[in-house]
Amino acid sequence: MRCVHTFDLGNSAPLAEEAFRAFLRETSTGADRLLTLFAEEPSPGRFLLHAVAGGAAPGRFLYACVETSPRSFRTFTDVCPGTHWFEREIYDLFGLMPEGHPELNPLRFHEAWPKKFFPLRSTDAPAPDPRRGYRFLVVRGEGIHEVAVGPVHAGIIEPGHFRFSCAGETIQNLEIRLGYQHKGIESLFPGGPEMGKILLSESISGDTAVGHSTACVRLLEAITAKPADPSAERWRAVALEIERISNHCGDLGGLSTDIGYLFGAAHFGRLRGAALNLLLRITGNRFGRGLNRIGGIGPRVPGIAPEDLMAELGRLRAEMKDVGTTLLDAPSVGVRMEGTGRLLPHTAKTLQFVGLTARASGRDVDARRDFPSPAYVDSPPVNVLLDAGDVMARARVRFLEMRASFDWLSGILAGAMPPGTIAAEGVVPAAGRRLVVSVEEGWRGEIVHAAVVDGEKRITRYKVVDPSFRNWPALSFAVQKNVISDFPVCNKSFNLSYSGTDL
Amino acid sequence: MLESILKRASVGNVTVALPAGDLPSPFRGMPEVGEAFRTGGAAATCAKACATDAIDPEKRTIDLGRCVFCGLCEEACGGEGIRFSQNPRLPWGKRENLVLGGSDVSLAPASADLRSLLGRSLHLREVSAGGCNGCDLEAQALGNPIFDLQRFGIDFVASPRHADGLLVTGPVSKNMREALVKTYEAIAEPRIVIAIGACAASGGIFRGSYAVEDGVGNVLPVDLFIPGCPPHPLTLLYAILGFLGRSPEKIPRG
């Protein structure tokens, strides 16, 4: 299977620091991209950093690891800026200090936590240095003032803190402080590969329950050697595309709200509901919870016949096309969204942003093509790529991706049921330490789950990467030199998950 | 402009009338308990399948404050012990009202004083405190044209100073505890607290994590718990209206 890969850790000796550094540099400049970087403590006081990259060809996964001292390691941000937040996270969870890191602020823990609390580090390991406190970047200059927003925002939305430094109305710097939603998810995954882990993955980010649970279930299926049959894989992909449609649609409604275009807000709000109701018809839940079971899909999935689903999708598609065209062609919409919140292609490439954020800024990454699951192997949905990088580009990518998803759905639902069963690829052999990696393109971008598994097939370390974690810095870049009153529409154009980031 | 007017005319009224009846299969709503659960071995089978310890096999109860409506218990017992109906009306009230045992469902409406104060006009400040955003999305959906919460005189406001109460989602992450308490304190009395979803009732799937408080009840006095993972918008509507003493049967279409 090209979306899941198993590495034998017994055969992968840690690299020398320079070689590991070169591996990460290559993800910044070469055709393979960084998928995940995380720490692990295989035995008390011994620390490894695992990095997985790939994507230059379908199903290509590369792996490297390095051993660090129990205290610190030299930062990799100088050769691979995309490791920036990964290193902050490693510091928070393990107390391993990335020396020379440009902005080592805590990502997970606020002032109320003990300064020596590092949840994934064993107490047997040598005591780490106390965590340093949070320091906001201070912008100096005549007339510079700060605006602090959050953690509780106006509106029904997750918590986060935004600190703007402005000259007049113009944003000079936006600092994003997160961690409010931190619930220790990764600490709850170790143990046997059971159904409870799937339920947990459904709650990594509630709006991406299908994406995360599908990444998680394939990983658990690789561990337990119970692959799903092609029909189950087809329904997973169908649910994933409807999840994409519902969220893209909701975001176009949210963008409409933020520019005061009430027609778009009302209709896209309604149509998003219709898409969620289709997920309910398939899985029994509006967000697709209950879709996945280890080795297949839920016994009551799908609750709707393919031909009925196709008819519903046809109606939805026609309406979305109407409303979307009206929205994107309206001059009053264009004037607010064009040129607003530009994320330059160079920034998107350097910081290795993913998903629709990247594809609106000319960075061509899509896990459905690069790490295709069985249902996407032959023909993934048409790739959408724009390069303007502004709010309008991100709106258009959503609109065009919805169209591509509708096209793909009508193809796969009309096609014959895929025959036979698939081989149990990526199966973890009985003995020895393994690293299993699973990738899926959620609606925001690529979701990466990785698990270190011991000889008894028990998970000892579980790492989740939500695309939001990769993309949050994009917002800071996009709003620079914009007026602060455009911040809501810029923020909504990314619509990143706080929960998926804070874990 | 013309397109938007035509569109508006062609769509018509989309707001759902109450009571709305059952949702389509395979929706997992109000669980129905069978004889095999009340007296037989199904209670133990279901408890074993439950990932959130919502089922007590000794007392033969289901705690909907812990239930994430995954359906694993129903699959384990073949529907003999527990079967999820398509009814979105779930029990609500104090924490104990969420525990199903026997056949009676008890609810806990607001006091007469509160009902007369807030029954026809309720403004809520929403705080998301460590959840996955599923409950937030369903609370947000209450404002769309389909569910249209405003037709009942209920609305979400931006400032706690303008609010009569809080609607909280999530298990209360330790990082949100202070902000949640401060938001609560900023609301003038009398004020109510509504906790929605399994996380807000018990910690849900995150119960026992080092980073959460295992539910809003451990941080603030909660007046109304509503179960679900996340609760369907209709579940929220029935519960909030019921709490305010307003019967959905007597509410005209919006």
The domain spans of chain A are 4-99
Q: What is the pLDDT of residue A424?
A: 47
A134: tokens are 């949070």
Q: What is the pLDDT of residue A133?
A: 87
Question: How much is the average pLDDT of A219-224?
Answer: 94
pLDDT, tens digit (0-9, with 9 covering 90-100), for A171-198: 999 999 999 999 999 999 999 999 999 9
The domain spans of chain B are 112-247
CA separation for the pair B234, B254 (Å, rounded): 15
pLDDT, tens digit (0-9, with 9 covering 90-100), for B161-181: 999 999 999 999 999 999 999
Return the residue matching tokens 């089978």.
B45
Check if CATH label 3.40.50.12280 holds for domain B112-247: yes
A393: tokens are 């580009």
What angle, rounded to 10 degrees, do the helices at A391-414 and A230-258 form? 150
DSSP secondary structure, A206-224, as one string: GGGHHHHHHHHHHHHHHHH
Question: How much is the average pLDDT of A222-250?
Answer: 95
pLDDT, tens digit (0-9, with 9 covering 90-100), for A272-327: 999 999 999 999 999 999 999 999 999 999 999 999 999 999 999 999 999 999 99
Put simply, whether B150 touches A (Cβ < 8 Å) is: no
CB contact under 8 A, A263 and B4: yes
Return the residue matching tokens 């340093």.
A132
Q: Does the pLDDT value for residue A351 go beyond 80?
A: yes
Q: Does the pLDDT value for residue B132 go beyond 70?
A: yes
Q: Does the pLDDT value for residue A56 go beyond 70?
A: yes
Mean pLDDT across chain A, nearest whole number?
93
Identity (one letter) of the amino acid at B155?
Answer: D
Q: What is the pLDDT of residue A423?
A: 47
Question: How much is the average pLDDT of B203-218?
Answer: 96
CB contact under 8 A, B205 and A200: yes
pLDDT, tens digit (0-9, with 9 covering 90-100), for A405-462: 999 999 999 886 555 445 445 555 557 899 999 999 999 999 999 999 998 899 999 9
Q: What percent of chain B has pLDDT over 90?
A: 78
Return the percent helix, strand and coil in chain A, to nearest 5: 45, 20, 40
Residue among B250, B212, B207, B243 nearest B225 (CA) = B243
Q: Which residues from B are below 8 Å from A157, CB to CB? A: 128, 136
Residue among A299, A289, A111, A159 nearest A216 (CA) = A289
Q: What percent of chain A has pLDDT over 90?
A: 88
Identity (one letter) of the amino acid at A263?
Answer: F
Q: Give how far A154 is from chain B: nearest CA, Å.
A: 4
Option in A200, A272, A298 nearest B71 (CB): A298
Put simply, whether B45 touches A (Cβ < 8 Å) is: no
pLDDT, tens digit (0-9, with 9 covering 90-100), for B57-79: 999 999 999 999 999 999 999 99
In the structure, what pLDDT confidence band is assigned to residue A358 with cuts at 50, 70 and 90? very high
In the structure, what pLDDT confidence band is assigned to residue B102 with cuts at 50, 70 and 90? low
pTM summary value: 0.95
User: Which run of H or of E encompasses A278?
Assistant: helix A262-283
Q: Give how far A421 is from chain B: nearest CA, Å.
A: 24
Q: Which residue of A has its CA nearest to B10?
A: A319
Q: What is the pLDDT of residue A489?
A: 96
* Of A388 and B108, the one with more pLDDT: A388
Q: Which residues from B are below 8 Å from A497, CB to CB? A: 133
Residue among A438, A334, A437 nearest A390 (CA) = A334
Put simply, whether B67 touches A (Cβ < 8 Å) is: no
- Chain A with chain B: Cβ pairs closer than 8 A: 188
Contacting residues for A480 by C-beta, under 8 A, at least 6 apart: A171, A172, A173, A174
Put simply, whether B240 touches A (Cβ < 8 Å) is: no
Q: Give how far A303 is from chain B: nearest CA, Å.
A: 6
Q: Which residues from A are below 8 Å from B70, CB to CB? A: 195, 199, 289-290
| Per-residue three-class SS string for A110-150 | CCCCCCCCCCCCCCCCCCCCCCCCCCCCCCCCCCEEEEEEC
Residue among A442, A428, A429 nearest A371 (CA) = A442
CA separation for the pair B130, B211 (Å, rounded): 9
Q: Give how far B116 is from chain A: nearest CA, Å.
A: 27
In the structure, what pLDDT confidence band is assigned to residue A378 with cuts at 50, 70 and 90? confident
From A355-364, A469-478, B32-41, the region with the lowest mean pLDDT: B32-41
Q: Which residues from A are below 8 Å from B5, CB to CB? A: none
In the structure, what pLDDT confidence band is assigned to residue B254 with cuts at 50, 70 and 90? very low
Interface confidence (ipTM) of the complex: 0.94
CA A62 to centroid of chain Cα atoms: 19
CA terminus-to-terminus distance, chain B:
26
Q: What is the pLDDT of residue A417?
A: 59
Q: Which of B6, B16, B53, B175 to mutate to test the interface with A (most CBs of A within 10 A)?
A: B175
Cβ burial B212-238 (10 Å sphere, 16+ → b, else e): bbbbbbebbebbbbbbbbbbbbbbbbb
Q: Which of residues 82-111 of B touch A (CB under 8 A)?
A: 84
Q: What is the pLDDT of residue B251?
A: 62
